[in-house]
Amino acid sequence: MRKVAIIGTGMTKVDKHWRKSLKELFGEAGIAALNQTGSPAIDCLIVGNMCASDLSDQNNIGALLADYLGFVPNTAYRVEAACGSGGAAFLAAYSAVASGMYDVVMTGGVEKLTDGVGGNTTLSLGKAADAEYELFYGSSFVSLNAMIMRYYMDHYGVPREAFADFAVLMHRNGSRNPFAQLPFEIKRETVLNSDMISDPITLFDCAPVGDGAAALILCPLEDAKKYSDDFVEVAGISGATDTINIASRESLLSFRSTVTAADRAYRMAHISPADIDVAEIHDTFTITGVLSLEDLGFCERGKFHKMMMNGAFEPGGVVAVNPSGGLKSRGHPVGATGAYQIAELFLQLTGRAGKMQVPDASIGLAQNIGGSGSSTYVTVLRRV
């Protein structure tokens, strides 16, 4: 299996991009990545997206974007794993390069959730759940996660305020990110006093709905220097699943998909959680972020709050978590989120993260969840 490097990235700011189509969004990110790498010929494009069929009347996005970016007649297709689509596309792209089938592959994700031509964003996002056993009965994506949060609070005796503090940290981080959708600081009271969405989840427990695209260019590690002086190695990668409906699980206090994917990725990279300098974790809701911290092995179960308040998840602590602001503040264009996470780690590991920079970051981890934990993609990157 060939070793694989990331040689370039591009992102759009996450925002309400009412004047930009899917093509224009991914085009902006893709061209930025190409410009970083001397515009090599792209042998294959593998792009993550969840909602374009519902909200933009567009499938066949691989061909659409290959056409727009000038990659025709080369291979292109879309990968979908709900909110994990970007991570799943990255995994497919990794194996496309590792296998020797393709030398230079562009991957990434694009999502346009606002100002679509059709559909309903809440319903579209709900299709990540089990249509027959969850969606049909009126469950929404947020209501399923609200049940998990309530159970967690009761089980560990963790107060609701502790989750608000997670959101405060994310917004503090995101206020330094030029690509963030919500680049401003908030107070604990902002979360507690914001509108109730699905008890106990309030508006500021939730990642915002936004549009965006991120692109990444991969090639064999041995060829990386041909294209760029700044590249990182993909040291570990794994995708794992759990039951699609949360009622079938043994526990709601942990996402088995994250535990499995992390364990496999750590073993592949020959590291343990303690070796990670910077992590971009999947905090769709504050509860999702907290479970992720635990499932990835960054903190003891039920004990995140004290650690967090002592700076454990900031530079100089146990691991710098979401210096980008995470889904909460950077934003969550669902099918692109996994690609944003990896693009942000690329900036960190090549020392170009600006005000977000974690000093001396050399190993980074991205964790991208699809559905309410029904799939997770974990990627470990290493500075070369």
Least distance between a second copy and beta carbon 125 (Å)? 9
Residue of 44, 51, 83, 206 marked active site: 83
Residues from 220 through 239 that contact a second copy (CB under 8 A): 238-239
Tokens of 101: 């089938």
CA-to-CA distance for 81 and 99, rounded, in angstroms?
22
Residues with Cβ within 8 Å of residue 371, at least 6 apart in sequence: 82, 83, 84, 128, 129, 244
Site membership for a second copy, residue 165 (CB under 8 A)? no
Output 134 or 205, the one with its CB closest to a second copy: 134
Residues ≥6 apart with Cβ < 8 Å to 277: 319, 320, 358, 360, 361, 362, 363, 364
Interface with a second copy, residue 123, by CB under 8 A: yes
Nearer to a second copy, 198 or 374 (CB): 374
Cβ proximity to a second copy, 176 vs 264, nearer residue: 264
Instruction: Determine, following the binding rule CB under 8 A, whether residue 361 of this chain makes contact with a second copy.
Output: no
Q: What's the CA gap between 296 and 291, in Å, rounded?
A: 8
Q: Which is nearer to a second copy, 56 or 286 (CB)?
A: 56
Q: How far is 27 from 35, CA to CA, in rounded Å? A: 12
Say whether 171 is catalytic. Answer: no
DSSP 240-252: EE--SSGGG-S-S
Region 74-93 residues binding a second copy, contact defined as CB under 8 A: 74-82, 84-85, 88, 91-92
Beta strand pairing call for 232-241 and 375-383: antiparallel
Residues 12-71 that bind a second copy (CB under 8 A): 21, 23, 44, 46, 50-51, 53-54, 56-64, 66-67, 71
Residue from 128, 146, 281, 356 that binds a second copy (CB under 8 A)? 128
Annotation marks residue 299 as catalytic: no
**Least separation, in Å, of the C-beta of 263 and a second copy?**
10
**In the set 100, 159, 311, 354, which binds a second copy (CB under 8 A)?**
100
3 state SS of 153: helix
Q: In this structure, how many other beta carbons lie within 10 angstroms of the beta carbon of residue 309? A: 12
72 binds a second copy (CB under 8 A): yes
Residues classed as catalytic: 83, 332
